[in-house]
Structure 1
């Protein structure tokens, strides 16, 4: 009886904890409410199964407890029960996976009007690259990384000169404008994660991954690395500052001196000058 009661308390306590505890996520600041909805659906399904299993265990512990003179009934198999368990389990798994497929389709479909930016993660800091007046990012190569070219931009690409390079600083974005972030890492696995944006993506050495989102409210949001990347992992943090369009444009004007042409000695008016 005591064991059955403990199991019931575990089921009830888990539900109460979920409803009243302060673990709930921070207010969302992007278009990815679909991810919140998917997580909530998953919680409801897994929570209902968890409570049902625990209560069934409590029933079995109490109903089939040891009693003097009672013998266990031996039943090596039950085809009907096996079919029911297979069907119910299959439906439950499908119910959890289906919403995720719709969200994933949205996740990989970038809007045509999204602005390309680059997020560069390395042990243990974040750097960013924004397109200049031409609206395009230049090509890159990890082999070109040097103290004068920290992100490895291709000097021979004409689009590189007006790219704005922001090392270890803050990423500014306009509100309500979709952004496609190209993700690169020159060393180990990192993961770009802003809790208020919900979406996250790995930075894999040797490839360019991407993530897109639309900031939906202004404010300052912390960037975290969600992939263990060495001893400095807990300190690998940055900031995303979402601004109104007018404030963002004013900030862009201030970044003119951070263009690749200004930061890299030897580049003048599209020509690589000899040292």
Structure 2
């Protein structure tokens, strides 16, 4: 009976924990309500299975507890039960995977009017690059990274000379405008994660990964690294500030371009 009681308490406690927890959902700050819908579907499917399995275990412990003279019925296989369990598991897994595949397609299908923003990771720092007046990001290579050129921009690419460079500062974004996030790592595997955006993606050295979202809520949000990247992993944090367009333009005008950055370091880019 003690085992039965423990199993029942596990079921009741788990359900109450998830239902009553005030931090169950963080306030969403982007257009990805699809992510929440997928999480809710997954939660209900796994929650129902968890309650059913543990409750069945409690029933079996109580119903088939040891009694003098009782012997277990020998049944090495049950084709009907196997088909039922196998089919039910397949349906449950498919129900969890299908919404995720739909959301993933939306997650990587970038709108044509999305503004590009590059996020560059390194141990243990976030840096950002925004297009300048020409609206285009210049070429960049990890092999070109130097103390004077921290993001490795190609100095012979005119498109990159007016790129806005933000090293270790805040990333500001205007509210209500889609953003194409380009992700690049210059050393090891990292993961760009803003919980309130419902957005995260691995940053793999030698590759450019990406996703997109539209900020829908003004505020300041933490950037976390969601991939163990060394001893400073826990301190690898940044900030995204979502603000009105006028405030964003004011902030953008105060940032250094690549040309200004190289000039201040005494290393001028070649003339056009």
Query: TM-score, normalising length from structure 1?
Result: 0.95
Measure how far apart 1:2 and its partner are.
Answer: 2.2
* 1:29-178 map, 5 Å: 29-178=29-178
Q: Which residue of 1 aligns with 2:202?
A: 202
CA deviation string 1:196-242 (max 9, x = no partner)? 11110111111111121111011111111111111111111111011
Q: Offset of 1:254 from its aligned partner?
A: 1.8
Match of 2:268 in 1: 267
Alpha-carbon separation, structure 2, partners of 1:236 and 1:8: 41
Task: Give the 3-state SS of the residue equivalent to 2:126 in structure 1.
Answer: strand
**2:28 equivalent in structure 1:** 28
Does residue 241 in structure 1 map to residue 241 in structure 2?
A: yes
Distance in 2 of aligned mates of 1:119 and 1:136:
15
Query: Take 1:147 and 1:16, find their aligned partners in 2: how far apart are those partners?
Result: 53
Deviations 1:39-76 (A, max 9, x none): 11111100000000011111111111111111110001
The alpha carbon displacement at 1:100 in A equals 0.7
Query: Which residue of 1 is the match for residue 254 of structure 2?
Result: 254
SS at match of 1:116: strand
TM superposition outliers: structure 1 runs of 4+ over 3 Å: 265-268
**Could you report, residue by residue, the CA deviation over 1:243-264 in whole angstroms, capped at 9, with x for unpaired residues?**
1011111112222xx1111111
Count of residue correspondences: 269
Question: Which ranges of structure 2 fall in alignment gaps of 5 or more residues?
Answer: none
Cα RMSD for the two superposed structures: 1.2
Q: CA deviation at 1:160?
A: 1.1
Q: After superposition, give the CA deviation of every residue in 1:130-176 in whole Å (9 maximum; x if it has no partner).
A: 00010000011111111111100001111011101011000010001
Equivalent residue number for residue 223 of structure 1: 223
1:182 corresponds in structure 2 to: 182
Distance 1:262 1:18 in 2: 52
How does the TM-score come out when normalised to structure 2?
Answer: 0.96
Match of 1:188, SS state, is coil
SS in 2 for 1:120: strand
Runs of at least 5 residues in structure 1 that lack an aligned partner in the other structure: none
